[in-house]
Amino acid sequence: QVQLVESGGGSAQAGGSLRLSCAASGSIFVINAMGWYRQAPGKQRELVATITSGGSTNYADFVKGRFTISRDNAKNTVYLQMGSLKPEDTAVYYCNAAISKVAGWGKVVTNDYWGQGTQVTVSS
Task: Determine the Cα–Cα distance for residues 77 and 6; give it in Å rounded to an integer.
Answer: 9
For residue 1, is pLDDT > 90? no
For residue 85, is pLDDT > 90? yes
pLDDT at 104: 83
According to DSSP, residue 86 is labeled: -
- 63 in helix, strand or coil? helix
pLDDT 10s digits, 34-82:
999 999 999 999 999 999 999 999 999 999 999 999 999 999 999 999 9
Mean pLDDT, the chain, integer: 96
For residue 105, is pLDDT > 90? no
Q: Taking a C-beta distance cutoff of 8 angstroms, is the pair 51, 76 a contact?
A: no
Task: Give CB contacts under 8 A, 24+ apart, made by 55-64.
Answer: 62/88, 63/89
pLDDT at 61: 98
| Averaged pLDDT for residues 2-10 | 95
Task: Determine the Cα–Cα distance for residues 70 and 55; give it in Å rounded to an integer.
Answer: 7
Task: Determine the Cα–Cα distance for residues 41 and 72; give it in Å rounded to an integer.
Answer: 31
pLDDT at 22: 98
Task: Determine the Cα–Cα distance for residues 43 and 111; give it in Å rounded to an integer.
Answer: 25
pLDDT at 11: 98
